[in-house]
Amino acid sequence: MAEEQNQEAVAGQQQQAQFQLQKLYIKDVSFEIPNAPQVFQEDGQVEIKLNLAQKVEDLAEGVHEVVLTVTVTANLGEKTAYLAEVQQAGIFGISGLPEQGKHAALNTLCPHTLFPYARRMITDLVAEGGFPPLVLQPINFDQIYAQRMQEAQAGAAESMEVQGNA
């Protein structure tokens, strides 16, 4: 009987969990061609570097701003061909989740929602900048999050070992 009540309570909590995209917007955009116009006359293979960063800010109870920063740097030899950076942001309502579930949603579901918009903006900036089309591949934010959690656990374990041996 008590087990049934626990299962009903868990089911009730799961039904109350909500994830809502309230607002989607571009917080900042930057595109630079530091070596123009000479870079357009050079031959060679462009090397692309992709950098991702994320910032979460609590706006109110259950309301969070998540900013995904996507930076693409294209180098042609020693010179920078272009630098494109987009800060794609969203306001997300997240409620009814335990703290660990909310943390996971903010670090996986939110950037997964934002990335296609940032990717499209980067593609447009590069094309409008006079360069061949750049198509960024999808990113598995679940895998990145899992890897970061493993690294954090390993770091905590190492910290405990150091404290224990001191």
Q: Which CATH number fits the domain that encloses residue 73?
A: 3.10.420.10
Residue 164 belongs to some domain of the structure: no
Residue 11 belongs to some domain of the structure: no
Q: pLDDT by residue (tens digit) across 4-17?
A: 555 555 555 556 88
Q: What is the percentage of the chain residues whose pLDDT exceeds 70? A: 85
Distance from C-alpha of 82 to C-alpha of 76, rounded to nearest angstrom: 9
Q: Which two tokens stand for residue 38?
A: 């000479």
Give the chain's domain count: 1
Residue 3 belongs to some domain of the structure: no
Domain range for 97 is 18-159
Residue 113 belongs to some domain of the structure: yes
- Does an H or E element contain 3, and which? helix 2-16
Q: What pLDDT score was predicted for residue 165?
A: 44
What is the chain's mean pLDDT, rounded? 89
Residue 88 belongs to some domain of the structure: yes
Residue 5 belongs to some domain of the structure: no
Distance from C-alpha of 19 to C-alpha of 102, rounded to nearest angstrom: 10
Look up tokens 């626990």; give the residue: 6
Q: pLDDT by residue (tens digit) across 61-76?
A: 999 999 999 999 999 9
Please tell me whether the overall predicted TM-score, pTM, comes out greater than 0.85 for this model: no
Q: What pLDDT score was predicted for residue 23?
A: 98
Residue 10 belongs to some domain of the structure: no
